[in-house]
Amino acid sequence: MQPSIPQNEIERLVRLVVERLVAEGKPGNKPAQPIIAAGEVRLDGKLVTLSSLEGKLNASTRVLCVPTKAVVTPAVKDELRQRKIELRRADQVDNHGQPKLPPVVNAAKQSVSSVWDTSGRSERLGSLPSAIERAVVLAQTEQMAVLLSDQPEVAAAAANRTSGIRAMVACESHDWKSAAESLGANVVVCHPGNWNDANAAGLLATLWDLRGTAGPTWLK
């Protein structure tokens, strides 16, 4: 028969465990740092320019990770493309590669494919003015929003009346990606009837990666 542990010793051990748990939960304690994979470079800061990259990239760099809402200039994206370096946002890395998609505001009168709600972040608004207003708010907070409308040109023109909004119409048959990069678009308007499911899914994934792209200087 094993000897019993005195009650005062049990209380002492419990007290030590509680004190340690409380100490670990205090704001001053540093959270566990994310693991940085080989070939990955991480940057801090709200703006990523070519000067931000000086001395940080080398031949072994494969991924550049920047803060979720950081603004990445077109020159940086060109440099990464030439070096074949992948650009990732912090939330893409820290969430173990789970796909992130922009919010979708649906003002289309027709029924739309469920692919537009792949992320579970779509909103249905019957009034086009209300949908435009909502898309503008989302663009200001999340740096990218997709607006579905039967009148995409009208919706884009109306959204562009708000300062800081760079809305464009994306058509499946055109080079919408280059247009979004050049414009630094933060509201992308689509006619859902003009997109097939596969291309719509690619649009959403690409737009999430493009959010935060700086607009051209002549628009400022």
Q: Which residue ranges make up each domain of the chain?
A: 40-94, 104-215
SS3 call for 93: helix
State the architecture of 104-215 in CATH terms: 3-Layer(aba) Sandwich (3.40)
SS3 call for 89: strand
In terms of C-beta density within 10 A (0-12 exposed, 13-18 middle, 19 or more buried), how is residue 129 classed? exposed
Q: Tens of pLDDT along 16-60?
A: 766 666 565 555 555 444 545 557 888 888 899 999 999 999 988
**How far apart, in Å, are the Cα atoms of 27 and each of 22, 30, 31, 86, 200?**
10, 8, 9, 34, 43
Is this structure's pTM higher than 0.85? no
Strands across the sheet containing 86-89:
40-42, 63-66, 86-89
**How far apart, in Å, are the Cα atoms of 145 and each of 31, 107, 159, 188, 208?**
31, 13, 11, 6, 9
DSSP 78: H
- Assess whether pLDDT exceeds 80 at residue 217: no
Rama region for 124: left / alpha / beta (φ>0; ψ in -120 to 50; rest): beta
- Assess whether pLDDT exceeds 80 at residue 96: no
- Assess whether pLDDT exceeds 80 at residue 1: no
SS3 call for 196: coil
